[in-house]
């Protein structure tokens, strides 16, 4: 079974790794929902390019991942446009560079919202449909910081990698009859449903 006609929603996909992932899924025939914080007008050329190059449908959703109600609305829009979110890639992340004793509380709260809570909310909203259809993939992206730390990176280094790796390990033990493949490598923590 190929990916043609399926839908991949990739958070944090206006550039970098997220954009590469979106391009890959589009090249496999997957419709894609890109997400990020740039204005919609900045993404029109990219969306048109994906559609023309790969013969798929693509859209951009500038949802603020700090807000659960906006995440829910993004997921509803994706379901309305494509019928399902077959592949969810949690790639979005915010980072702030500061020693812990000077780290602004509001930046810590923002990092918790985007780096951890948004992952929870997208999975929570995508998983029931994947179970119902008997097919779906969830890919949670972390980084090599899952295994080592670096100075002044307290929000990302302590939050996202630990959460995602422990979540992957936890889910791999609790999936019951649902197949789960888990990989925790240096570059990514993958969780497949």
Report pLDDT digits (tens) over 5-48: 999 999 999 999 999 999 999 999 999 999 999 999 999 999 99
Question: Is residue 74 pLDDT above 60, yes or no?
Answer: yes
116: in domain: yes
DSSP H/E element including 9: strand 7-10
Strand partners, 61: 35
Catalytic residue among 156, 163, 190, 193: 156
* pLDDT score at 37: 93
1: in domain: no
User: What is the count of structural domains for the chain?
Assistant: 1
2: in domain: no
Q: How confident is the model at residue 164 (pLDDT cuts 50, 70, 90)?
A: low
155: in domain: yes
Is-catalytic flag, 193? no
Residue 93 domain boundaries? 7-192
Indicate which CATH number applies to the domain containing 145. Answer: 3.40.50.720
Q: Which region holds residue 64: left if phi is over 0, alpha if psi is between -120 and 50, else beta? A: beta
């Amino acid at each position: 079974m190929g990916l043609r006609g399926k839908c991949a929603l990739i958070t944090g996909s206006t550039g970098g790794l997220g954009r590469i992932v979106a391009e890959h899924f589009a090249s496999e025939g997957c419709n894609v929902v890109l997400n990020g914080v740039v204005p919609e007008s900045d993404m029109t050329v990219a969306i048109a390019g994906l559609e023309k190059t790969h013969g798929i449908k693509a859209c951009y959703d500038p949802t603020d991942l700090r807000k659960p109600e906006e995440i829910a609305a993004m997921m509803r829009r994706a379901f309305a446009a494509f019928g399902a979110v077959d592949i969810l890639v949690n790639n979005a992340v915010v980072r702030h560079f500061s020693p812990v004793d000077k780290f602004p509380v509001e930046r810590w709260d923002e990092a918790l919202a985007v780096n951890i809570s948004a992952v929870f909310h997208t999975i929570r909203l995508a998983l029931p449909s994947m179970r119902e259809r008997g097919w779906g993939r969830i890919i949670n992206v972390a980084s090599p910081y899952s295994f080592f730390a670096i100075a002044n990176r307290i929000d990302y280094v302590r939050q996202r990698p630990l959460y995602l790796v422990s979540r992957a390990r936890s889910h791999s033990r609790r999936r019951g009859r649902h197949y789960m493949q888990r990989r925790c490598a240096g570059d990514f923590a993958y969780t497949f449903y």
